[in-house]
Amino acid sequence: MYTVKLKKNEEKRIMGGHPWIYANEVLKIEGKDVQGSIARVESFEGKFIGYGMINHHSKIIIRIISRDETPVDREFFFKRIKAANDYRVNLGYADNYRVVFGESDFLPGLIVDKYGDYLSTQFLALGMEIRKDMIVEILTEIFQPKGIYERDDVSVREKEGLPEFKGTIYGSVPETVEIEENGLRMLVDLEHGQKTGYFLDQKENRDNLKFYVKGKEVLDCFCNVGGFSLCASKYGAKSVMAVDISESAIEMVKKHAEMNGFTNISTLKADVFEQLRLFRSENRKFDVIVLDPPAFTKSADTVKEGYRGYVDINTQALKILNHGGFLVTCSCSQHLTMELFLNMIKESVQNAKVDAKIVELRLQGKDHATLIGADESLYLKVAVIYNE
């Protein structure tokens, strides 16, 4: 086993709950083992800090997985995965939800999502990759799934020295999987869908539209496959217009509307930035507008540019929002902090020259809980804004 000794005072952040140790925080490494193995981590004074998965090829050289002396073996992983699932089940999750959320479930680099009888996984750290077979065994033991699909077609694996990959790793997986979300029938494409197939983190926020849409004209921007649109229709919207630049996403919205018997959802394939300006030129307004864009900033060095994009899109939306209407605005970028998110809203309101107030501030779903001490796990911010 490797023993990793930290430089003086570098353990403070780790003791505060953060699970990552960077290579430049390490004083020395003693012992021998293989990459991805479990290493013992000690402070400069020799105090035990925890066990972590080691990878010399990554800037994150250690990912803490345990803070006590418990052996990190198969039983350890079984108990961790079962505990993560039990937490969700006890909150009422059943058909589709995030089972394991990496560091937040003390299983760094592992993502497991449940879609009905199927699981979708990501192994984002070397330590999890070399334990893949064991983890798949545990998942089949706990869930008895019909199939498990791996969605490791993500660039973050390159930082771990791992190739991108996607494919079925257990059983068989159909082209689409039907799930029930918020009482609605939906199809999920595990191979081509967003993230592991679908944006599960917005489930509760989509359902939250029930407070705002009854009898209203709703505009759903960046609609993806229609989660917000369907909930708006379900909860009595007068009309819903779903806008996305993706032709495949628009086709799925139509399919989902048909599956659920909704006839008040129209679709529009368009660039949202351009379409909002076109609506304004046409003096077209809406009672409720949903903005759920992709992350405009995915790294620390693009925050300023991404911030301007958020301000622009929110300003344009507020300009076509009726008085007495609601804007539901989202950011899924961890780099746009809550402070920046609130500043963005303030600047957008000022630019649009409207009088507005924040009705709600919301986060990602309870199955994506944030690990205290690891701000990276708090990424989704949602605000409901009322236009006076």
Alpha carbon of residue 261 to chain centroid: 29
In angstroms, rounded to a whole number, what is the distance separating the alpha carbons of residues 227 and 48?
47
pLDDT value for 317: 98
Instruction: Report H helices in the chain.
Output: 11-15, 74-90, 126-129, 132-143, 203-207, 227-234, 247-259, 272-281, 303-319, 338-352
β pairing state of 118-123 and 110-115: antiparallel
How much is the CA Rg of the chain, to the nearest whole Å?
22
pLDDT value for 29: 97
Give me the domains of the chain, ranges plus CATH numbers.
3-66 (2.30.130.10), 74-174 (3.30.750.80), 199-387 (3.40.50.150)
Contacts 24+ apart (CB under 8 A), 55-59: 55/125, 55/126, 55/127, 55/160, 55/161, 56/23, 57/126, 57/160, 57/161, 58/23, 58/125, 58/126, 58/159, 58/160, 58/161, 59/22, 59/23, 59/159
CA count, 13 A, side-chain hemisphere, 145: 29
- Ordered per-residue pLDDT tens for the chain, 388 residues: 999 999 999 999 999 999 999 999 999 999 999 999 999 999 999 999 999 999 999 999 999 999 999 999 999 999 999 999 999 999 999 999 999 999 999 999 999 999 999 999 999 999 999 999 999 999 999 999 999 999 999 999 999 999 999 999 999 999 999 999 999 999 999 999 999 999 999 999 999 999 999 999 999 999 999 999 999 999 999 999 999 999 999 999 999 999 999 999 999 999 999 999 999 999 999 999 999 999 898 788 899 999 999 999 999 999 999 999 999 999 999 999 999 999 999 999 999 999 999 999 999 999 999 999 988 889 999 999 999 9
E runs forming strands in the chain: 3-6, 20-22, 26-30, 38-42, 48-54, 60-66, 96-101, 110-115, 118-123, 147-152, 165-171, 177-181, 184-188, 217-221, 239-244, 265-269, 286-291, 321-331, 356-363, 381-387
pTM of the full structure: 0.94
Alpha carbon of residue 77 to chain centroid: 23
Active site residue 332: yes
Backbone angles phi and psi of 113, in degrees to 5 = -120, 145
Question: Angle at which helices 247-259 and 227-234 pack, to 10 degrees?
Answer: 30
In angstroms, rounded to a whole number, what is the distance separating the alpha carbons of residues 299 and 372?
21
pLDDT value for 298: 79
pLDDT value for 299: 83
Query: Which residue out of 221, 223, 231, 332 is catalytically annotated?
Result: 332
| Tokens representing residue 215 in the block | 């009898």
Q: What is the dihedral of CA 80, 85, 90, 93, to 10 degrees?
A: 160
Q: 64 in helix, strand or coil?
A: strand
Cβ 263 vs Cβ 300: under 8 Å: no
Residue 171 backbone class (left: φ over 0; alpha: ψ -120 to 50; beta: rest): left
